[in-house]
Amino acid sequence: MVRQLKLGAVLMGVGGPGQHDTWTHPEIPGDASIDIRWYAERARQAEAALFDLVFIVDSQFITPDSPPHYLNRLEPLTLLSALAVSTTHIGLVGTLTTSYNTPFNLARRLASLDLISGGRAGWNVVATGDGGTAANYSRDEHFDYASRYGRALESVRVCQGLWDSYEDDAFPRDVATGVFVDPTRQHRLDHVGEHFSVRGPLNISRSPQGQPVIFQAGDSDEGRDLGASIGEGIFTHSPTLEKAQAFYRDIKARAAAKGRDPEHVLIMPGVTPVVADTDDEAREIERANRLGKDFAKNLAQFGRPFGWHDFSGYDLDAPFPDLGDLGADSFRTQAEQIKKVAREERLTLRQTVERFMSSTPQPFVGSATTVAAEIERWFTGRGLDGLNVHITVPSEFARFTDEVLPILRERGVVRSEYEATTLRGNLGLPIPRNVHTAAREARVPTPAHV
Amino acid sequence: MVRQLKLGAVLMGVGGPGQHDTWTHPEIPGDASIDIRWYAERARQAEAALFDLVFIVDSQFITPDSPPHYLNRLEPLTLLSALAVSTTHIGLVGTLTTSYNTPFNLARRLASLDLISGGRAGWNVVATGDGGTAANYSRDEHFDYASRYGRALESVRVCQGLWDSYEDDAFPRDVATGVFVDPTRQHRLDHVGEHFSVRGPLNISRSPQGQPVIFQAGDSDEGRDLGASIGEGIFTHSPTLEKAQAFYRDIKARAAAKGRDPEHVLIMPGVTPVVADTDDEAREIERANRLGKDFAKNLAQFGRPFGWHDFSGYDLDAPFPDLGDLGADSFRTQAEQIKKVAREERLTLRQTVERFMSSTPQPFVGSATTVAAEIERWFTGRGLDGLNVHITVPSEFARFTDEVLPILRERGVVRSEYEATTLRGNLGLPIPRNVHTAAREARVPTPAHV
Ligand SMILES: Cc1cc2nc3c(=O)[nH]c(=O)nc-3n(C[C@H](O)[C@H](O)[C@H](O)COP(=O)(O)O)c2cc1C
Ligand SMILES: Cc1cc2nc3c(=O)[nH]c(=O)nc-3n(C[C@H](O)[C@H](O)[C@H](O)COP(=O)(O)O)c2cc1C
């Protein structure tokens, strides 16, 4: 099968990090983040463009300074379940943290979405970056990296075990014999691990795609290791092709080292294409978006990887402050990267904020031809297997789907019609074999061997 | 306002406790319990009959002997969120346990459903009867009654606090001034209690009905106390009018003693009406349903209040066994009631099983005229404020809606059109005042007083 670019749409309402003013856009209702019709229309727009999936990010910790979308948003799975009955083909990927959910509840809710959508559910496994979240869940402190990622891996394994509670032939529902369930096809899990003990069985059967698709987001060494272990899709951010290629090679090598098929780990960075009539015009729009932002809001947002540290009291023109290990238990990878660049290049606080929040041009900016060519270059150059497109404004999204995608379609890079009605089917991912069925069939010789 | 009967439809797929054979009915698809279209059609059927709400019960613990609907079911809130966009007026009440969920997640998911449905969400607060559930959530034992109900009360209070995180005017979204949120209208909770510490704020605003409606189910002294404290609807089972009236008086008196308006606590027992052309015919159907059941399945089901105790090894014709305090941490109220009756009436195990599982005729059985009159008698006799109707077969439900309800409508007992698009509006329940708004307005004299 020819390799094709996978497409996700990151659905937001009124703008996430660095998008403090999106809500003022005339095409965006002020309450878009809590309006299910807004999400349903965006999902249908992406479905009409044959996207593989919509992607819902998440957070649970806010202060009055949080970005608009964070302040007031729908819980991802509640949202996606409503979208499941408002769409027919597009995948539904929700971000759910393993730090503040129990695996039994995660498995159950995701399996329900998977059945409701006819096999279109996906789970973006995160361990939560915002340390302040802990206080909403009866904890004094956020989990440290080791337990955060330990819980994440164990949670996914438990969910996958629970999702196999029933074999596919568990329900004969034979009216003549009166047999509803075949008890030999129902299995307990009896998991006893470092973080969780879960007996099972889960009270729900498998969907047409077998199990929800596992996505992962988290860039530290521990995060990459988790992605390589369980991720079937990896959500990341890659500012340049070179960095994207390095990340791509690293994840695929890690997955291969774990005995997995690297083609079944799809790297899908988040991107924000800007399409205009000419390259110059697009670059000007991108630049204006980036620089037009209020410095105070950028400064507040800049604090996020450091546990929403408040930088407003610092001297902006003094050398970047010594922050010790601030951020180590929050978004460590990002925090360390910022500190490193500031130190090596001897930047002031203001310069550092500008570098990371506004002064670096984004990729995928230009005329439709330019953007399409750039996407194809990243795709064939193995910088990515797909894109998670962050475009909130409907008409801007339409330029991408109506001008860029046809060029890529013409070149065979993206699909011309859905291959399947399940997310696995469209992503080209295999249906995981039920472990109990596999074990039984391994024990019993199949007729061909007799 | 004239008092009218409230109507809930308990939506099940293939039959709950005591309904082992419902799945063989020709009108019911074998996979109804996991088929969202089935639920959507039933919800629309209830909505067309102007029901106040659909009610989804729940459980998380199964064995191979569990009733068909329990074996394979959708998670209530995932299910209801899909129904929210498939209906327009009917309330959506989901059972969620406070024993195995954290209050922040409960508050968030319910608030999301409330916004998605435009103010139609309800929460049936339960503490979980099945002790075996504990093993799915990393616990050796189920919580004892005191902590179970302590957690339940504290969870509801925390959720209600979180639901008031934003005052109704918190989001000016004023493009001219660039003000999205008014930080003085966002509030932390800073709850520190016996079971939970929750800082807040919750990252979601209030719906048109202010907060989800709180239902409660649990009949012990502790359960009734909880219902009287926080219940706006009470889900119960009442086999006779006399028992219903005693329960009704008890709950209303407890609520009044807590300073609440007893009219804002609606008693809604679960009932299974059987409607036929004549009373005799209906009684015959009800009798056949009840007695037609397989004794072994009844015996398995009988074990439920005793923590799914296995009674199959006992001598059926010996006196009811001494079970010690079996069931004390499971469904204690029901278990103790069974033991008491068996002891006082010196029943054998078989007689006890028959008494509780099959030999007691149900109320609300007869011709449409008889059933309507009986409902009116219970309603005007203050045995109930509403009904939670358990009818799974669509044509049987249609007999109830098309033959019984018109008689009650004619007599002014049930509505002729929806009064509102919110669940509170239809149930006649007040919108809870935001506590922060109330506190502020109490401090600041209103213009009229100046
Ligand atoms: C591209 C990307 C997207 C992420 N999205 C979310 C999210 O929506 N919600 C969340 O709680 N964490 C999210 N995370 C955070 C991770 O779960 C992780 O906790 C955080 O990045 C810190 O870990 P790390 O150092 O391994 O990256 C995301 C991380 C990345 C890299
Ligand atoms: C009418 C009724 C319906 C109930 N429905 C549920 C349910 O759907 N799920 C659940 O976990 N518990 C349910 N419960 C159980 C209660 O939450 C409670 O844990 C159990 O009844 C034992 O407590 P009690 O002795 O106070 O009744 C229900 C109880 C009653 C009385």
Q: How confident is the model at residue A129, as a pLDDT?
A: 86
- The Cα A242–Cα A240 span in angstroms is 5
Q: How confident is the model at residue A267, as a pLDDT?
A: 98
Averaged pLDDT for residues A120-128: 97
The tens digit of pLDDT for each residue in A128-169 reads 988 899 999 999 999 998 999 999 999 999 999 999 999 999
Averaged pLDDT for residues B34-46: 98
In our burial notation (b when 16+ CB lie closer than 10 A, e otherwise), range A125-156 reads: bbbbbbbbbbbbbbeeebbebeebbbbbbbbb
Question: DSSP 3-state assignment of B2?
Answer: coil
Domains of chain B: 6-273+365-438 (3.20.20.30), 283-358 (no CATH)
Q: Which atom of ligand 1 is found nearest the CA of A269?
A: 1
Query: Nearest to residue A209, comparing CAs of A331, A72, A110, A66?
Result: A110
pLDDT confidence band for B447 (50 / 70 / 90)? low
DSSP code per residue over A216-276 = EE--SHHHHHHHHHH-SEEEE--SSHHHHHHHHHHHHHHHHHTT--GGGSEEEEEE--EE-
The tens digit of pLDDT for each residue in B238-264 reads 999 999 999 999 999 999 999 999 999
The rounded mean pLDDT for chain B is 94
Question: DSSP 3-state assignment of B125?
Answer: strand
Residue A292 has pLDDT above 80, yes or no: no
Whole-number Å distance, alpha carbon A95 to ligand 1 midpoint, is 10
Question: DSSP 3-state assignment of B373?
Answer: helix
Q: How confident is the model at residue B446, as a pLDDT?
A: 55
- Identify which of B75, B195, B201 has the shortest CB distance to residue A109: B75
CB contact under 8 A, B105 and A100: yes
| Cα end-to-end span (Å), chain B | 34
The tens digit of pLDDT for each residue in A225-237 reads 999 999 999 999 9
Residues 6+ apart with CB under 8 A from B408: B5, B372, B375, B376, B414
The rounded mean pLDDT for chain A is 94
Q: Which amino acid is at B143?
A: F
CB contact under 8 A, A73 and B203: yes
B95 in a labelled binding site: yes
CA distance A118 to chain B (A): 9
Across A9-23, B39-53, B179-193, B214-228, least confident range: A9-23
**Ligand with the closest atom to the CA of B331:** 2
The residue whose CA has the least distance to atom 8 of ligand 1 is: A57
* Chain-centroid distance, C-alpha A393: 20
CB of residue A8 inside a 6 A radius of ligand 1? no
Name residue, tokens 């009904």.
B387
The residue whose CA has the least distance to atom 31 of ligand 2 is: B218
Q: Which two tokens stand for residue A381?
A: 């150059």
Residue A103 has pLDDT above 60, yes or no: yes
From the number of C-beta atoms within 10 Å of its C-beta (0-12, 13-18, 19+), residue B224 rates as buried
Q: How confident is the model at residue B449, as a pLDDT?
A: 44
Neighbours of B146 (CB within 10 A): 9
- B71 touches A at CB < 8 Å: yes
Decide if B127 contacts B148 (C-beta within 8 A): yes
Query: Nearest to residue A341, comparing CAs of A355, A328, A362?
Result: A355
Whole-number Å distance, alpha carbon B126 to ligand 2 midpoint, is 6
Q: How confident is the model at residue A446, as a pLDDT?
A: 55
* Chain-centroid distance, C-alpha A63: 24
Across A403-412, B351-360, B403-412, least confident range: B351-360
DSSP code per residue over A100-168 = SS-HHHHHHHHHHHHHHTTS-EEEEEE--S-GGGGGGGT-SSPPPHHHHHHHHHHHHHHHHHHHTSB-T
Q: How confident is the model at residue A147, as a pLDDT?
A: 92
Whole-number Å distance, alpha carbon A106 to ligand 1 midpoint, is 18
CA distance A377 to chain B (A): 40
Residues 6+ apart with CB under 8 A from A221: none
pLDDT confidence band for A18 (50 / 70 / 90)? low
CB contact under 8 A, A24 and B175: yes
Classify residue B6 by its DSSP letter. Answer: E
Q: Which amino acid is at B378?
A: W
pLDDT confidence band for B17 (50 / 70 / 90)? low
Name residue, tokens 């807040």.
B200
Residue A269 has pLDDT above 90, yes or no: yes
CB contact under 8 A, B68 and A101: no
pLDDT over 90 percentage in chain B: 83
In a mutational test of the B interface, the residue from A20, A77, A80, A116 whose CB has the highest number of chain B CBs within 10 Å is A116
Averaged pLDDT for residues B74-96: 98
Averaged pLDDT for residues A163-179: 94
- A115 touches B at CB < 8 Å: yes
- Identify which of A108, A197, A200 has the shortest CB distance to residue B138: A197
Neighbours of B39 (CB within 10 A): 24
- The Cα A320–Cα A310 span in angstroms is 14
Global confidence as pTM:
0.94
The residue of chain A nearest to residue B186, with distances taken between CA atoms, is: A64
Decide if A414 contacts A408 (C-beta within 8 A): yes
User: Could you tell me where the beta strands, DSSP code E, fall in B340-429?
Assistant: 365-366, 386-389
Averaged pLDDT for residues B166-179: 94
Q: How confident is the model at residue B292, as a pLDDT?
A: 73
pLDDT over 70 percentage in chain A: 97
The tens digit of pLDDT for each residue in A313-350 reads 999 999 999 999 888 878 888 999 999 999 999 999 99
Task: Please calculate the CA angle A81-A86-A89 and round it to the nearest 5 degrees.
Answer: 90
Q: How confident is the model at residue A16, as a pLDDT?
A: 64
Strand B197-198 and strand A6-10: the pairing is unpaired
B137 in a labelled binding site: no
The residue of chain B nearest to residue A63, with distances taken between CA atoms, is: B201
CB of residue B383 inside a 6 A radius of ligand 2? no
Residue A271 has pLDDT above 90, yes or no: yes
Q: How confident is the model at residue A450, as a pLDDT?
A: 39
pLDDT confidence band for B291 (50 / 70 / 90)? confident
Across A317-326, B271-280, B377-386, least confident range: A317-326
- Identify which of A40, A59, A78 has the shortest CB distance to residue B81: A78
CB of residue B379 inside a 6 A radius of ligand 2? no
Q: Which atom of ligand 1 is found nearest the CA of A221?
A: 26
Most confident range, picked from A330-334, B194-198, B346-350: B194-198
CA distance A104 to chain B (A): 6
ipTM, two decimals, is 0.93
CB of residue A333 inside a 6 A radius of ligand 1? yes
Using only C-alpha atoms, chain A has a radius of gyration, in whole angstroms, of 23
- The Cα B236–Cα B218 span in angstroms is 7
Scanning B196-255 for CB atoms below 8 A from A yields 196-201, 203-205
- Identify which of B20, B72, B85 has the shortest CB distance to residue A85: B85
CB contact under 8 A, B75 and A198: no
Question: DSSP 3-state assignment of B164?
Answer: coil
CB contact under 8 A, B81 and A86: no
Residues tagged in the binding site annotation of A for FMN = 58, 95, 149, 220
The residue of chain B nearest to residue A206, with distances taken between CA atoms, is: B72
Residue B122 has pLDDT above 90, yes or no: yes
pLDDT confidence band for A17 (50 / 70 / 90)? low
CB of residue A331 inside a 6 A radius of ligand 1? yes
Q: How confident is the model at residue A449, as a pLDDT?
A: 44
- The Cα A66–Cα A61 span in angstroms is 9
Across B134-143, B204-213, B327-336, B412-421, least confident range: B327-336
Decide if B157 contacts B195 (C-beta within 8 A): no
Classify residue A195 by its DSSP letter. Answer: S
pLDDT over 90 percentage in chain A: 83
Averaged pLDDT for residues A77-103: 98
Q: How confident is the model at residue B294, as a pLDDT?
A: 79
- The Cα B162–Cα B156 span in angstroms is 10
DSSP code per residue over B396-416 = HHHHIIIIIHHHHHHTTSS-S
Scanning A318-337 for CB atoms below 8 A from B yields none
